[in-house]
């Protein structure tokens, strides 16, 4: 190739590179994210307008400066080392995964950034391209949400503690006072009946019989309220025994349902923290109540598993299954209550389809320590 031809080819190549550079520069000016190019020494070589806006610095003021000037002091050494190590890697278009980092504006304000680093080969040499998106507002919203959730969980824990104390006191009052009063009334009534003569008018006899029936109903109702308020056997013998007793009582009131519970032998006498057992029991009770009211199921299966540091309880039914958008309406406040009970003790409640048409409610707790 002649000297003239070589010179022409060189001019064409430079013109093409200049055109490509102009196009890249135009694109970078329109990109809403910060794009920063860094050489192998960790020095800033380019700084697009979005980077100027995000960091509050002009492109001219950062040219040739270390890239770690854009980070708070406590992060600089580690980041610079990582940047230089990455920059030394060979190959084109190698990319590190999306990551969350701290940035530092010119006014000293720290900002939350999310971005990635790509290694490219340019005519000017090897470069690391840093692409950053300002997520400060989103990070603040996430922190506020986490704080609100923590506050809600703490409030729920306190409410559950107060609930247990109040329920225990109410149960004691019903048993020790109202229950004893009703028992005394029954004894007095039976004494009156024993003292009646054969000449007692029929109307009086019918009234006494009616009174005896009402006293019996009142005593039965108090016993049922006591059972609902204070789960039998839960405090004394534990979750598995209490659940077995609860489901047996449910089965007596719903003979059309096949209600079963499966508990591994090693867990029959296992005890978990009292608040966890109480939450799990109440979740199962609510789940079974939902099945009885809404599912049209013919079978309910409760399964308990875990160990000393974990507890898993599932309630499966073969009913109609979950409605659309479950948990979003007022009619699903029971589901919300189950989830709040679980969260208050560091557990979770999930709802989904069962192994057959129907619903599965699962309670999961894992010891945090």
Residue 159: pLDDT over 70: yes
Contact (CB, 8 A) for 334 and 286: yes
Facing residues of 104 across strands? Answer: 110
Q: What is the largest CA-CA distance in the chain?
A: 143
Please, is 176 exposed, middle or buried when counting C-beta atoms within 10 Å of its C-beta (0-12, 13-18, 19+)? exposed
The pLDDT tens digits of the residues spanning 251-302 come to: 888 888 899 999 999 998 899 998 899 899 989 998 998 888 877 888 999 9
pLDDT given at position 26 = 59
Residues 27-42 as b/e (b if ≥16 CB within 10 A, e otherwise) read: ebeeeebbbbbbbeeb
pLDDT given at position 88 = 42
Q: d(Cα 66, Cα 149) in Å, to the nearest integer?
A: 40
The model carries a pTM of 0.51
In the chain, DSSP assigns E strands to 34-38, 44-47, 94-95, 99-104, 110-122, 125-134, 258-262, 299-307, 310-317, 347-353, 359-366
pLDDT given at position 92 = 36
User: Would you state the structure tokens that stand for residue 114, as one six-digit string?
Assistant: 């999310």
Confidence band (pLDDT; 50, 70, 90) for 91?
very low
The pLDDT tens digits of the residues spanning 104-146 come to: 899 999 998 888 888 877 666 778 888 888 888 888 888 888 8
The helix/strand/coil state of 345 is coil
């Amino acid at each position: 190739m002649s000297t003239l031809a070589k010179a022409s080819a060189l001019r064409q190549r430079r013109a093409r590179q200049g055109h490509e550079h102009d196009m890249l520069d135009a694109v970078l000016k329109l990109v809403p994210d910060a794009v920063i190019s860094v050489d192998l020494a960790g020095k800033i070589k380019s700084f697009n307008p979005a980077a100027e806006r995000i960091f509050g610095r002009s492109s001219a003021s950062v040219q040739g400066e270390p890239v770690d000037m854009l980070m708070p002091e406590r992060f600089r050494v580690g980041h610079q080392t990582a940047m230089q190590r990455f920059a030394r890697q060979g190959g084109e278009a190698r990319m590190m995964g999306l990551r969350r980092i701290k940035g530092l504006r010119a006014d000293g304000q720290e900002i939350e950034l999310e971005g990635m680093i790509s290694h490219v080969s340019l005519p000017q040499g090897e470069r690391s391209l840093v692409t950053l998106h300002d997520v400060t507002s989103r990070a603040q919203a996430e922190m506020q949400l986490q704080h609100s959730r923590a506050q809600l969980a703490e409030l729920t824990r306190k409410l559950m503690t107060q609930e247990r104390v109040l329920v225990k006191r109410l149960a004691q009052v019903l048993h020790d006072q109202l229950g004893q009063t009703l028992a005394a009334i029954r004894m007095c009534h039976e004494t009156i009946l024993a003292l009646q003569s054969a000449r007692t008018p029929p109307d009086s006899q019918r009234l006494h019989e009616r009174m005896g029936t009402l006293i019996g109903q009142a005593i039965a109702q108090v016993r049922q309220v006591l059972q609902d308020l204070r789960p039998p056997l839960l405090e004394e013998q534990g979750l598995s025994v209490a659940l077995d007793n609860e489901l047996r009582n449910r089965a007596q009131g719903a003979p059309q349902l096949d209600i079963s519970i499966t508990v591994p032998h090693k867990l029959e006498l296992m005890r978990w923290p009292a608040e966890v057992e109480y939450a799990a029991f109440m979740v199962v009770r609510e789940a079974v109540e939902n099945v009885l009211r809404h599912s049209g199921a013919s079978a309910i299966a409760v399964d308990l598993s875990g160990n000393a540091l974990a507890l898993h309880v599932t309630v499966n039914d073969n009913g109609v299954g979950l409605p659309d958008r479950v948990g979003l309406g007022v009619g699903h406040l029971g589901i919300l209550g189950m989830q709040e009970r679980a969260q208050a003790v560091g557990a979770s409640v999930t709802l989904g389809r069962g192994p057959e048409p129907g619903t599965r409610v699962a309670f999961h707790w894992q010891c945090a320590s």
